[in-house]
Amino acid sequence: SAGGANDMLYAGTEDSSVWATVDSGKTWTAHTSGIGKGLTASTPVADANNKGFGLIKDNKVTALPGCLSEKWTVACIAESPNGGSFSITGTVSGRQTDYDITTGTYTIPNVLSFTILDDTGSSGIGGFEVGDTFTFNTTRDPGRNIRSLLADQGNNLLYAVTLGELSSHSVGNIYVHELNPDGSIAPGDWREANTGLPQYDPPDDTTLFAQHVIAPNIPGNPTALYIGGEGINFYKATSGLDTGELIWQESKNGLSNLIMARMPVLFSGLCESNMYQEDSGFVSLYIQDKNGNPPVAGTKVIVRKTDSEGKESTLMNYTYPDTLTHTGTWRDPSDSTTNNPYRFYLGLGDGISLEMEWACSDAVPGCSSGD
């Protein structure tokens, strides 16, 4: 800005993304196309009234970049031996193409994917009944919460650092947009500029640590950019500044959690696994500490079923991410809405086994169970 009547200004907002003005603030225009992306999908939950004993493979739904923040319902609409058809409906996206589970993995392009297993073995009977349902949520960073903006006048680029929406931990991203020579925002979309920035807990959680500030070494015409935020993370980019295709490199030697933003997490004791037989033929499994917290990141659980013919199948093979809440817990015994166990169906003569590999380390996050 030169203090005139036709200055170019940019504004990052807490809930409305990026805005720009070419007339010193008299009129503002939102520029949001391309900013934001899909983040995660929650663990799918089988309805307590399900009659069949089929399941979603690995209790996992994969969120893709184009997903929205919404609740999904997957419901059996037709039964068949070793198969069945399901409707897929999102609270925002509406009903999608039906899913015949004999076709393998179900994918909504650029939105989500998952696989339903009939799990009836050779009998092919009892996998699902009409009305059986699963529910899960997908979460998207809409790109509305802007933590930092940086205008690179020398390269005609504008950078925006976003803070996403995710309940278990903070996430973030950085985007870049071309500017016209006069500083106005050029036609086109925002694009990501995050190559090299740290992921939260790969391979289970590949969302990015939240970043809060981006800064240049030389205001207006930088030869290096710096970005810092949560997780004891500080990064520097010296290549790709002319195009916005930044390559970030770690630059945090000597930094500690005494000066970097972190989120404290208190666990209240060692975790235990407990399995209970229900009258309906289902088995409930809880893996939690005394206050309903899940195990620490890296803990692995494997659940296997042996049918009456001696055939063994794996119902669950899962490694826990770093999270505050999870399936397999009852956080508040006085509140039934927090009762969220794993549930597995056992037919007549079926057996079930549980194998736990508890994560334990002298460093953070510590131990889930054992010494």
Residue 263: predicted pLDDT: 47
Residue 371: predicted pLDDT: 43
Please name which of 7, 17, 9 lies closest in space to residue 175, comparing C-alpha atoms. Answer: 17
Residue 258: predicted pLDDT: 59
Specify whether the CB–CB gap between 114 and 104 falls below 8 A.
Answer: no
CA 303 to chain centre: 24
Please name which of 15, 37, 30, 64 lies closest in space to residue 141, comparing C-alpha atoms. Answer: 37
Six token digits for residue 52: 């069949």
Please name which of 174, 154, 155, 172 lies closest in space to residue 163, comparing C-alpha atoms. Answer: 172
Residue 167: predicted pLDDT: 57
Specify whether the CB–CB gap between 257 and 264 falls below 8 A.
Answer: no
Rounded alpha-carbon distances, angstroms, from residue 28 to 14, 20, 25, 184: 16, 5, 6, 12
Rounded alpha-carbon distances, angstroms, from residue 133 to 62, 75, 88: 18, 4, 10
Angle at 208 between CA 204 and CA 214, to 5 degrees: 170
Specify whether the CB–CB gap between 327 and 293 falls below 8 A.
Answer: no
Six token digits for residue 336: 């039934």
Please name which of 123, 81, 121 lies closest in space to residue 101, comparing C-alpha atoms. Answer: 81
Angle at 318 between CA 204 and CA 297, to 5 degrees: 55
Please name which of 133, 75, 118 lies closest in space to residue 99, comparing C-alpha atoms. Answer: 75
Specify whether the CB–CB gap between 305 and 346 falls below 8 A.
Answer: yes
Q: Model pTM?
A: 0.63
pLDDT in tens, the chain (371 residues): 556 678 899 999 988 999 999 999 999 999 999 999 888 898 999 998 998 878 899 989 999 999 999 999 999 999 988 889 999 999 999 999 999 999 999 999 999 999 999 877 656 666 889 999 999 999 898 899 999 999 999 999 999 999 986 556 788 999 999 999 999 999 999 999 999 999 988 887 888 999 999 999 999 899 999 999 887 789 999 999 999 999 999 998 877 665 554 444 455 668 899 999 987 789 999 999 988 989 988 899 999 999 988 999 999 999 998 888 899 999 888 888 899 999 999 888 899 999 999 988 766 666 766 54
Distance between CA atoms of 57 and 54, rounded to whole angstroms? 9
